[in-house]
Amino acid sequence: SRKLAVVLDLDHTLIHTTGIDSPPQNTEDLEKHVVHYVTIDERVKIQDKQVFVKKHFLVKKRPFLDQFLNDNAELFQFSIYTAGTRLYAEAIAKLIDPTGKLFGGRIVSRSDVANDTKMGLEKSLHRIFLGDASMALIVDDREDVWQGEQGEQLILVRPFSHFKGAVEVNNAA
């Protein structure tokens, strides 16, 4: 479609997320602050057993995120690349892009990288663009996760933080 590829990080770049123990009781307060509630059933290992645990998150979008994505959808093909898990990335993508028109399933998460000892903190454009990744831009709040020449394609943004003093999800900026 002759669009420039733009690879977007989630945590501290497009959104700020914090984990909570249970669903929020007062949704009016969330709506007032434009904070979203997201829940996923994440598979975790507990005492050598795989079990599903319901995880609860509060999510705040970076100011003007929706406008940026909608205004630039004709120019760019957006993808998500996150240190979060696949289930987390899909839930956040659905929050940001409920129709699926912006990302179209183009997501790379730490769950997608075999034998990932760095917990998603070593990213590579070659996992998205198997041939030539030279026509892709990266937007991320961290430059240390993009090693080598691909770092030259990085647009580094100031980390977005909304939940002051809260437990960080996926990476500490």
Q: Specify the amino acid at residue 52.
A: F
User: Residue 21 catalytic?
Assistant: no
Q: In what order do the strands lie in the sheet with 35-46?
A: 15-20, 49-61, 35-46
Q: Give the CA distances from residue 77 to residues 2, 3, 7, 104, 168, in Å, rounded to whole numbers and listed in that order.
A: 9, 6, 8, 9, 29
- Whole-number Å distance between alpha carbons of 16 and 91: 14
Is-contact 112 86, C-beta < 8 A? yes
Q: Kindly name the residue from 11, 97, 140, 141 that is annotated as catalytic.
A: 11
Q: Which of 163, 167, 165 is nearest to 33 (CA)?
A: 163
Q: Which of 9, 97, 140, 141 is labelled catalytic?
A: 9
DSSP assignment of 46-103 equals ETTEEEEEEEEEEEEEPTTHHHHHHHHTTTEEEEEE-SS-HHHHHHHHHHH-TTSTTT
Catalytic residues: 9, 11
